[in-house]
Amino acid sequence: MNDFFNLPEESTSSNSGYEKKTDEKIYDPNPDNYGGSYKSIFRFIPDLRNANRPQYTKYSAKIWNPILKKSIIVDCPSNENKPSVLWTLSTILGKLYKEEPTVVKEINENFSRWFTHHSYVYIIKDPQVETAPGSIKIFKYRAQVNDLIDIQKNPDEDGLLDTVQSINPFHLLKGKDFLCVVTKKTKQWRDWTKCKFMDEVTPFRFSVKDTEVTMKDDPGAINLLQEFFDKNAPSLDEYIHQPWTDETYKDVAEALKAAIPYKNVLEMVISETRDEKMKALLRGDSISTPTDTVSSETTSPTPEFFSTSEDSKKEPIATAESADPSLEKDEYDDIFKNL
């Protein structure tokens, strides 16, 4: 039964937009309505429906069309190892920043590209929402929280301490509970710096009809957890990367042409992107039968299953487009082998 608990040392993965409406499937510790501070305790848990997805990460982008006065939010094709005009534009803006900061700032007011991590969490305590404890939600987070996960997995002891050990927070037997303290940094941004993992390593505990179950390496406990997860955990599928349709391509091309007010920058984007369909749309060419152009260097879409910091997930500024380095494969080994 031990394989159920054998998580890989680098187990984490790779899609997201803004939800203006309340999404009951998402755990959103928002301090806005609670005096500027939100406090809770939860436990990161792996996706027991998909052994390849203890953490799912995707790139998304928002483009403001100043002509139509509306914005669009799309997932980045780089999630599927496909050429991405969004990646190209981000790279160009990075290279231009030192020489033309004003130009870059103006374009960045209309364009942003980011990545978001998605993980399942079990809510242990939440004084703000009395119905939250005992539920499984999808938690969406970025670099600040992900860095805390990385520190647990890869502690920096500098060789000075013999007692320092690597902890996988997703481990069902040897993980840690997470103290979530969220405050306001600015009107738009939240401050996650007070969040931390508890010191004590503990097995995962969950409640079934007012009975607390402590996870152990036992067939009965494993089957009970699997049943509890299947019944209570929302599906992650709707948050996975959404491929572009022909209509998406047209909307993105229209928005980019409006969002980039400098002809020379737009020409750079057209010249450097390896997405031939988007290249034609930005030029205004007619396309009778649009087809996706995939780089010969890419392979079939492979999600990312390791935990990295935000800086390490950014594409190299010096290169235009290549296979996304964040989409490497790393899986649980036979997690359901004995079930």
> Is 43 part of a structural domain of the chain?
yes
What is the DSSP-derived secondary structure letter of residue 202?
A: B
| Total H helices, total E strands in the chain | 8, 11
pLDDT of amino acid 321: 37
User: Mean pLDDT throughout 57-71?
Assistant: 96
Average per-residue pLDDT for the chain:
82
% of the chain beyond a pLDDT of 90: 69
Taking residue 230's Cβ as centre, other Cβ atoms within 10 Å add up to 10
> Is 254 part of a structural domain of the chain?
no
pLDDT tens string 107-136: 999 999 999 999 999 999 999 999 999 999
> Is 330 part of a structural domain of the chain?
no
Left if phi > 0, otherwise alpha if psi is -120 to 50, otherwise beta: which for 110? Answer: alpha
pLDDT of amino acid 296: 35
pLDDT of amino acid 157: 61
Residue 222 parent element (H or E): helix 219-232
Of 255, 242, 253, the residue nearest 276 (C-alpha): 253
> Is 210 part of a structural domain of the chain?
yes
Poorest-pLDDT segment among 66-75, 226-235, 289-298, 299-308: 299-308
pLDDT of amino acid 20: 54
More confident residue, 135 or 51: 135
**Taking 60 as the threshold, does the pLDDT of residue 308 lie above it?**
no
pLDDT tens string 31-42: 998 989 999 999
User: Mean pLDDT throughout 264-276?
Assistant: 97
Q: Confirm if 44 and 168 have CB atoms less than 8 A apart.
A: no
Q: Which two tokens stand for residue 316?
A: 């190299």
User: Mean pLDDT throughout 142-156?
Assistant: 93
More confident residue, 330 or 145: 145
Which domain, by its residues, includes 228? Answer: 28-56+115-239
**Taking 50 as the threshold, does the pLDDT of residue 322 lie above it?**
no
% of the chain beyond a pLDDT of 70: 76
> Is 35 part of a structural domain of the chain?
yes
pLDDT tens string 202-233: 999 999 988 999 999 999 999 999 999 999 99
More confident residue, 162 or 210: 210
Which residues are CB-contacts of 209 (< 8 A; sequence separation ≥ 6)?
A: none
pLDDT-derived band at 310, boundaries 50, 70, 90: very low
> Is 281 part of a structural domain of the chain?
no
Residue 177 parent element (H or E): none
Residue 145 parent element (H or E): helix 143-153
Long-range contacts formed by 261-270: CB under 8 A, 24+ apart:
261/106, 261/107, 262/103, 262/107, 265/92, 265/96, 265/103, 265/107, 268/92, 269/85, 269/88, 269/89, 269/92
User: Mean pLDDT throughout 254-260?
Assistant: 97
Pairing state between β 111-125 and 56-65: antiparallel
Torsion of CA 129, 216, 167, 310, to 10 degrees: -50
Number of structural domains found in the chain: 1
The amino acid that residue 125 corresponds to is K
Helix, strand, or coil here: 118?
A: strand
pLDDT-derived band at 288, boundaries 50, 70, 90: very low
Look-up of token digits 């990460």:
57
> Is 37 part of a structural domain of the chain?
yes
> Is 138 part of a structural domain of the chain?
yes
**Domain containing 47 — which CATH number?**
3.90.198.10
**Taking 50 as the threshold, does the pLDDT of residue 82 lie above it?**
yes
Q: Confirm if 297 and 324 have CB atoms less than 8 A apart.
A: no
